[in-house]
Chains A and B, each alone.
Chain A
Amino acid sequence: GENVEQHPSTLSVQEGDSAVIKCTYSDSASNYFPWYKQELGKRPQLIIDIRSNVGEKKDQRIAVTLNKTAKHFSLHITETQPEDSAVYFCAANDRLTFGQGTILTVHP
């Protein structure tokens, strides 16, 4: 089955800085890579996703890049704000296997 590795496990940045979270996957057949954000005490919610036929996708301050050859994809958040503080999970679509999560803290 699929194996998804996510790094770093914790990330602390100052407000306005950029944050990058990286994931690698093992199954070359995976073709859908979503990112979920889980705020404290709340349910995970999709923030952005990418399919294997594109290399990059942007939505305002967030972007995701995909390197199919290297089997890794990354979440980029620019101009971080305190409300970006949450746990972020990447996933690959072999049984929607999730990474271990990254706790992002944005300091005002």
Chain B
Amino acid sequence: KAGVTQTPRYLIKTRGQQVTLSCSPISGHRSVSWYQQTPGQGLQFLFEYFSETQRNKGNFPGRFSGRQFSNSRSEMNVSTLELGDSALYLCASTIGGMWNTEAFFGQGTRLTVV
């Protein structure tokens, strides 16, 4: 079956713009989480969605938001981009509860803010 798919793979944006990233989980997976990966900072948890509801949120400013659709696909939005938002954004899906089963990651979206 198809893995987790993220689009687009690469993005270049200008400071102050906004961006929307998409994540399609594995079929049947209802939980989608988002992570920001930067060198030296590892994987920082952004938020998790389950059945269209945000269940958990990390310590990121309100410029970072997300949503999940009825087909479990999820989008992440970053408004008023800053240079420091340049990173690899990964999403991961699991069948149900996020925290005690294998998480399957997408390839990520590489965002560059100039």
Contacts and interface: CB of A to CB of B under 8 A. Distances in A.
B98 A44 contact: no
Contacts of A25: none
A45 B42 CA distance: 15
Size bin of chain A's contact surface = 20 to 34
B43 interface: yes
Contacts, number: 51
A42 B3 CA distance: 13
Contacts of B43: 44, 89, 98, 101
A34 B43 CA distance: 14
B99 A43 contact: no
Nearest to B40: A100
B70 interface: no
B108 A32 contact: no
Contact of A95 (B42, B56, B102, B107): B56
Interface of A: 6, 31-32, 34, 36, 42-46, 49, 51, 89, 93-101
Interface of B: 4, 33, 35, 40-43, 45, 48, 56, 58, 90, 92, 98-103, 105-108
Closest 4 CB pairs of A and B: A93-B99, A98-B43, A32-B100, A43-B105
